[in-house]
């Protein structure tokens, strides 16, 4: 197979799998939530419907949700690697996945309102490239639905309304406020990706990159790990529940990262990911050959 075709084939398979097959840890999280909710409750019913949907998508090789989301690709490549060629192969794979129905025609020109047939347009898909001392290519794909994107929030501390100062208690108040404000919108139960610090752009970038972490991954930074645990526990007491229908499971996880900041600003960026947390990674050779799923 020619170099470009090999790349396209591997990336197409990554997109297909990400779109139709919910990661095992997320599905397990949904199953645990189902068992933890009261019998005959609306929360249980909602989780049961979600789990049936997950299985149906897998069985029918069909997208997990009609909104196949923004496509965010994270590449780690060897030093000197041709990232232009990689971007071009990725765009071809996205086009093919759209034509075959693994991706909805989900991209619209913001100025004209005209839909794009291929999902390849200005700013779509989104790419992050990092050159590293390595001999293989690590690619991760995140598909981020629009409904969940709508309920993300960014705070600038101090925030008098929330009584939130520039400290960890202030950060905690912001994250809880984002969850309470969402009230299950954005298709709960979801995962919160949070960044403390950075600027308005890098804060959200870092917050979204937290969704690449598995649900059982606790931050190795003690203060952040403790806050992740505490917020997950506190979320259960809010009675928001799946889809905002009441119950304990508004969240499957909280993942918090941090960036340095300027003395003048202190941002807390909270990105919300719905239950359809579509993420998958692959390790590929420098010629695009598949090595293993990550």
Q: How far is the CB of 258 from ligand SF4 (least distance, A)?
A: 26
Nearer to ligand SF4, 142 or 276 (CB): 276
Q: Which residues contact 49 (CB under 8 A, 6 or more apart)?
A: none
Nearer to ligand SF4, 37 or 149 (CB): 149
C-alpha dist (Å) from residue 113 to 107, 108, 109, 172 = 10, 6, 5, 38
Q: Does 148 bind ligand SF4 (CB under 6 A)?
A: yes
Question: Shortest approach of ligand SF4 to residue 187 CB, angstroms?
Answer: 3
With CB under 6 A as the contact rule, the residue among 15, 71, 141, 274 that binds ligand SF4 is: 274
- Cβ 274 to ligand SF4 shortest distance, Å: 3
Closest separation between CB of residue 220 and ligand SF4, Å? 29
| Placement of tokens 């490549």 in the chain | 77
Question: Residues in contact with ligand SF4, total (CB under 6 A)?
Answer: 11
Q: Does 65 bind ligand SF4 (CB under 6 A)?
A: yes
φ, ψ of residue 156 in degrees (nearest 5): -115, 115
DSSP string, 135-194: SSEEEEEEEE-HHHHHT-EEEESSBTTTTB-SSHHHHHHHHHHHHHHHTTTTTSSEEEEE
Among 25, 61, 87, 147, binds ligand SF4 (CB under 6 A): 147
Kindly report the length of the chain: 294
Q: Could you say whether residue 189 binds ligand SF4 (CB under 6 A)?
A: no
Q: In this complex, which beta carbon is closest to ligand SF4, that of residue 273 or of residue 284?
A: 273
Quote the Cα angle for 175-181-184, to 5°. Answer: 100
Query: Residue 219: which of 196, 242, 190, 250 has the closest Cα?
Result: 196
145 binds ligand SF4 (CB under 6 A): yes
Work out how close the CB of 16 gets to ligand SF4 at its nearest, in angstroms, rounded to a whole number: 17
Among 29, 63, 69, 203, binds ligand SF4 (CB under 6 A): 69
Tell how many helices (H) and how many strands (E) occur in the chain: 8, 11
Alpha-carbon distance of 81 to 84, in angstroms, equals: 9
Please identify, using beta-carbon distances, which residue of 157 and 274 lies nearer to ligand SF4. Answer: 274
186 is an interface residue for ligand SF4 by CB under 6 A = yes
26 touches 33 (CB < 8 A): no
Of residues 188 and 224, the one with the C-beta less far from ligand SF4: 188
Q: Is 276 in the site for ligand SF4 (CB under 6 A)?
A: yes
- When asked if residue 244 is in the footprint of ligand SF4 (CB under 6 A), the reply is no
CA 14 to chain centre: 15
- Contact footprint for ligand SF4 (CB under 6 A): 65, 67, 69, 145-148, 186-187, 274, 276
């Amino acid at each position: 197979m020619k170099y470009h075709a090999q790349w396209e084939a591997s990336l197409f398979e990554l997109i297909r799998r990400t779109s139709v097959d919910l990661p095992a840890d997320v599905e397990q999280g949904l199953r645990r939530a189902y068992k933890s909710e009261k019998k005959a409750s609306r929360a249980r019913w909602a989780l049961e419907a979600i789990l049936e949907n997950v299985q149906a998508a897998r069985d029918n090789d069909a997208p997990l949700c009609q909104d196949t989301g923004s496509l965010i690709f994270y590449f780690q490549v060897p030093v000197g690697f041709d990232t232009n060629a990689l971007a071009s192969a990725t765009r071809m794979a996205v086009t093919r996945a759209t034509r075959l129905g693994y991706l909805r025609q989900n991209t619209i020109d913001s100025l004209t309102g005209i839909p794009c047939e291929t999902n390849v347009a200005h700013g779509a898909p989104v790419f992050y490239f990092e050159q590293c001392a390595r001999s293989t290519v690590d690619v991760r794909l995140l598909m981020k639905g629009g409904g969940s994107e709508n309920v993300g929030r960014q705070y600038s501390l101090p925030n008098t309304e929330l009584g939130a100062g520039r400290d960890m208690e202030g950060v905690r108040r912001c994250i809880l406020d984002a969850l309470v404000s969402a009230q299950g919108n954005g298709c709960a139960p979801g995962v919160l990706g949070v960044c403390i610090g950075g600027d308005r752009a890098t804060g959200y970038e870092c917050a979204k990159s937290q969704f690449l972490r598995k649900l059982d991954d606790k931050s190795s930074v003690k203060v952040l790990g403790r806050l992740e645990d505490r917020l997950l526990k506190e979320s259960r007491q809010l009675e928001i529940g799946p889809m905002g229908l009441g119950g304990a499971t508004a969240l499957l996880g909280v993942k918090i990262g941090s960036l340095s900041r300027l003395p003048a600003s202190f941002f807390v960026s909270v990105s919300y990911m719905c239950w359809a947390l579509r993420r998958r990674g692959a390790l590929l050779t420098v010629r695009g050959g598949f090595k293993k799923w990550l």
